[in-house]
Amino acid sequence: MNAAHAAATGRTLDATLEAAWLNHPCSPADALAVATSHAETHPGATINDQVFAQLISASSAVRLADTAHARLHLARARAMLAQSTTRSPAFQRLLQIVHGVHAALHWVERDLVASMVSFERALATPDALEPSDEHYIRLWRAITLLGLGKPELAFRDLLIGLEYFRFHYPPAHALLAFNVGATLLHAGDWEGAESCLRMALVESSRIGMSGFDIMCRSNLVYCLINTGRVEEATFEINDALEDNREELLRFRPGDVMTTVAENLIETGHLAEATDYVFDALDAAIGRDYPMGVGTAKWNQGRIAVEQDKIPEAISAWRVALWNLRRHPHLTQFWKTALAVSTLYAKQGDYRRAFRWHQRFHASYRRWQDTTRDVRLAYSQATLQMEAIRRERDAAEAERIRLLQAKTELEAVNTELQVRYTEIEAESEELREQASRDPLTGLLNRRNLLPTLSAMLEKSAIGKQQVIVAMLDLDRFKQFNDRHGHVAGDQILAAAGHLLRDFFRDEDRAFRYGGDEFCIFLPRTNRLVGEARLEAFAHGLGELLPNAPDGTPSGVAVSFGLACFPDDTMQGGELLAIADAALYKAKRRRKAQAGAGPRSDAAL
pLDDT computed for residue 66 by the predictor:
76
Q: What is the pLDDT of residues 346-372, one digit of tens each?
A: 878 888 878 878 877 777 777 666 666
- What CATH number labels 445-602? 3.30.70.270
The pLDDT score that the predictor gives to residue 525 is 92
Least confident interval from 387-396, 421-430, 450-459 = 387-396
Mean pLDDT value across the chain: 76
- Of all helices (H) and strands (E), which one includes residue 571? helix 571-591
Residue 33, pLDDT score? 59
Confidence of residue 582 (pLDDT cuts 50, 70, 90): very high
Is 213 in contact with 204 (CB distance < 8 Å)?
A: yes
> What pLDDT is stored for residue 578 in this prediction?
93
Sign of CA dihedral 121, 122, 124, 125: positive
pLDDT band at 79 (very low <50, low <70, confident <90, very high): confident
pLDDT of residue 7: 35
Domains 1-148 and 445-602 share a fold: no
Report the 10 Å Cβ neighbour count for 541: 19
User: Which of 99, 163, 167, 100 is CA-nearest to residue 137?
Assistant: 100
Q: What are 555-580's pLDDT values in tens digits? A: 888 899 999 999 999 988 999 999 99
Residue 186 or residue 345, greater confidence: 345
Residue range 517-539: average pLDDT? 91
pLDDT one-digit tens code per residue, 501-517: 888 889 999 999 888 99
pLDDT per position as a tens digit, 299-312 = 888 888 888 888 88
Q: Tell me how far CA of residue 601 lies from CA of 483, 516, 589, in angstroms.
A: 27, 14, 9
Amino acid, single-letter form, for residue 565? P
Cβ contact 18:38 at 8 Å: no
**Residues 92-146 pLDDT 10s:** 787 888 888 888 888 777 777 888 888 888 877 777 777 777 777 777 787 777 6
The confidence score (pLDDT) of residue 36 equals 53
Percent of the chain with pLDDT over 70: 77
For residue 126, is the peptide bond before it cis, meaning its omega torsion is within 30 degrees of 0? no
Q: What is the pLDDT of residue 212?
A: 73
For position 98, what pLDDT does the model report? 82
Reported as a single tens digit per residue, the pLDDT across 162-212 is 777 777 777 777 777 887 787 777 667 788 788 888 888 877 766 656 567
Please state, in angstroms and rounded to a whole number, the distance separating the CA atoms of residues 200 and 212: 9
Percent of the chain with pLDDT over 90: 10
Structural domain boundaries of the chain? Answer: 1-148, 445-602
**Cα separations in angstroms, 1 against 7, 24, 45, 563:** 10, 27, 6, 77
Threshold 0.75, pTM exceeds:
no
Q: Per residue in 225-282, pLDDT tens?
A: 777 787 777 777 667 666 655 555 455 444 556 666 777 777 777 777 787 788 777 7
CB atoms within 10 A of CB 207: 20
- Asked if the model's pLDDT at residue 13 lies above 50, the reply is no
CATH code for 1-148?
1.25.40
